[in-house]
Amino acid sequence: MLTLPETDLVVHELCLGGNVFGWGADESLSRAVLDAYKGHGGNFIDTADVYSEWKEGNEGGESESIIGRWMQGQDRSKLVIATKVSLWSKRPGLRPENIIAACNDSLKRLQTDYIDIYYSHKDDASVPMAEILGAYQQLINEGKIRYIAASQHTGVRLQEALDISASEGLPQYIALQDRYNLMDRQPFESEQQDVLNRNQISAIPFYGLARGFLSGKYRKGVVVESVRAEGVVEYQTDRGWAVVDALTDIARAHHSSPSAIALAWMRANPSVSTPIASARTVEQLNEIVEVVHLSTTEVNILNRASA
């Protein structure tokens, strides 16, 4: 367990992604994964109002609703729940009135009185930053959210938000959520990471397994049946296969899985507090929830393979 910088939130070293709940995993499978995660000591769950609007027959909010029903049998005080606003077609953008309405909707679906971390799911340059932060201030004052964080913000825009928070006495983003993994190292390492370090906040990256490519199940000439299979075609290059081979070798040495090693590589970066990864099945969850510590040599091997 670790404490997220700039908060009093004590979380597991794997944040469980809820993007597959109501999409790749139906409610029964989702609840089994949530139970298994809790059984491993997990307490940090990430979702969004838009999950999983993209599935035919869905309208959005399915992931939050599944998590909300599951939480009715849990001790809410022992869970850290993060959700997001701005990408759902029914509640788009970061206008203050939309943030407040979307938060109230999320609270109903999650069947909870408060959200531990509420993200701006994507930057919205059409709204003055001070107005966005002011809406979050209102929700904090009402006890509906505890902390706020940014998702899919450039380093420049994140720094702008942090500067406005400091100068105007408004709530501060405590973390950045964006894509980062062995296959997608930029722009995180080139420009976002410096902002995090300068302001002593951390990254909670998504796509930690590059949409499942780093799980090791993708191999040259192997057809994988998965809702995410089309999304990993871009990684199936000489560089990608070299990364998978390196992960597999290191996993063998640790009696672990490529998934666990890929996440361990992320944790080895001091700018990362905890990566996000999702699981459609308990078997997948058991692979990603293991916390492995890599040597400097092993980190360097992976760095070279993914350079």
Task: Specify whether 118 is catalytic.
Answer: no
Residues 51, 118, 136, 235: which is the catalytic one?
51
139-161 pLDDT per residue, tens:
999 999 999 999 999 999 999 99
pLDDT the model gives residue 16 = 98
pLDDT the model gives residue 225 = 63
Secondary structure element (H or E) that encloses residue 102, with its range? helix 96-110
38-58 pLDDT per residue, tens:
999 999 999 999 999 999 999
Superfamily of domain 2-212+258-293 in the CATH hierarchy = NADP-dependent oxidoreductase domain (3.20.20.100)
State the Cα–Cα distance between residues 248 and 64, nearest whole angstrom.
34
Q: Are 250 and 244 in contact (CB under 8 A)?
A: no
pLDDT the model gives residue 18 = 98
CB atoms within 10 A of CB 300: 11
Average pLDDT over residues 132-140: 98
Q: Are 45 and 67 in contact (CB under 8 A)?
A: yes
pLDDT the model gives residue 306 = 97
- Decide the pairing of beta strands 276-277 and 115-120: unpaired
Report in angstroms the alpha-carbon separations of 221 from 11, 178, 218: 39, 31, 9
Cβ neighbourhood burial of 112 (10 Å; 0-12, 13-18, 19+): buried
Total number of residues shown for the chain: 307
58-114 pLDDT per residue, tens:
999 999 999 999 999 999 999 999 999 999 999 999 999 999 999 999 999 999 999
198-229 pLDDT per residue, tens:
999 999 999 999 999 999 888 876 666 665 65
277-289 pLDDT per residue, tens:
999 999 999 999 9
159-201 pLDDT per residue, tens:
999 999 999 999 999 999 999 999 999 999 999 999 999 999 9
The residues facing 65 across adjacent strands are: none
Here the contacts of 94-101 (C-beta below 8 Å, separation 24 or greater) are 94/120, 94/123, 94/124, 94/127, 94/132, 94/135, 95/124, 95/127, 95/131, 96/127, 96/131, 96/132, 96/134, 96/135, 96/138, 97/135, 99/132, 99/135, 99/136, 99/139, 100/135, 100/138, 100/139
pLDDT the model gives residue 223 = 63
Nearest by Cα to 214 from 243, 174, 250: 243
237-251 pLDDT per residue, tens:
999 999 999 999 999
Secondary structure element (H or E) that encloses residue 116, with its range? strand 115-120
Cβ neighbourhood burial of 32 (10 Å; 0-12, 13-18, 19+): middle
Report in angstroms the alpha-carbon separations of 116 from 65, 95, 123, 154, 236: 16, 21, 20, 23, 37
